[in-house]
């Protein structure tokens, strides 16, 4: 997450944030090596941990709700993305109930968000 993008997100009460992959699952996925490097590279996708760190940073500026999205079918799953973000919240001394956290569904309409 670049500082510029992070700065633009400050003050948001809700964000739909990519939580695309888990690095260990990505490493063992069937993706070609070049694709794995692109996904995990500096201009690739956000990992679950990077999403968690981004959320922790945005909590300081009023973030109240987050929906995790764009989860990879090959290198992630909803429960892991959610758990990793909660672990980042706890690690950064936030109560896991300090925001409403949900995961967008790949196959159905997600729950309605009230802001």
The string of pLDDT tens digits covering residues 35-72 is 999 999 999 999 999 999 999 999 999 999 999 999 99
Q: What is the pTM of this model?
A: 0.91
Q: Please list, residue by residue across 61-98, b when 16 or more beta carbons sit within 10 angstroms of its beta carbon and e when fewer do.
A: eebebbbbbbbbeebbeeebbbebbbebbeeeebeeee
Which domain covers residue 81, as residue numbers?
A: 3-103
Count the domains in the chain.
Answer: 1
Q: Is residue 113 part of a domain?
A: no
Q: Is residue 53 part of a domain?
A: yes
The string of pLDDT tens digits covering residues 64-98 is 999 999 999 999 999 999 999 999 999 999 887 88
Q: Is residue 25 part of a domain?
A: yes
């Amino acid at each position: 997450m670049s500082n510029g993008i992070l700065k633009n997100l400050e003050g948001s009460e809700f964000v739909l944030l990519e939580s695309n992959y888990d690095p260990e699952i990505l490493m063992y996925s069937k993706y070609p090596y070049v694709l794995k490097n692109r996904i995990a590279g500096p201009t690739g996708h956000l990992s679950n941990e990077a999403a968690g760190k981004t959320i922790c940073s945005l909590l300081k500026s009023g973030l109240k709700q987050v929906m995790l999205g764009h989860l990879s079918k090959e290198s992630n799953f909803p429960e892991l993305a959610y758990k990793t973000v909660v672990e980042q919240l706890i690690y950064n001394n936030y109560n896991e109930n300090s925001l409403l956290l949900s995961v967008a569904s790949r196959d159905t309409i997600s729950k309605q968000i009230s802001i």
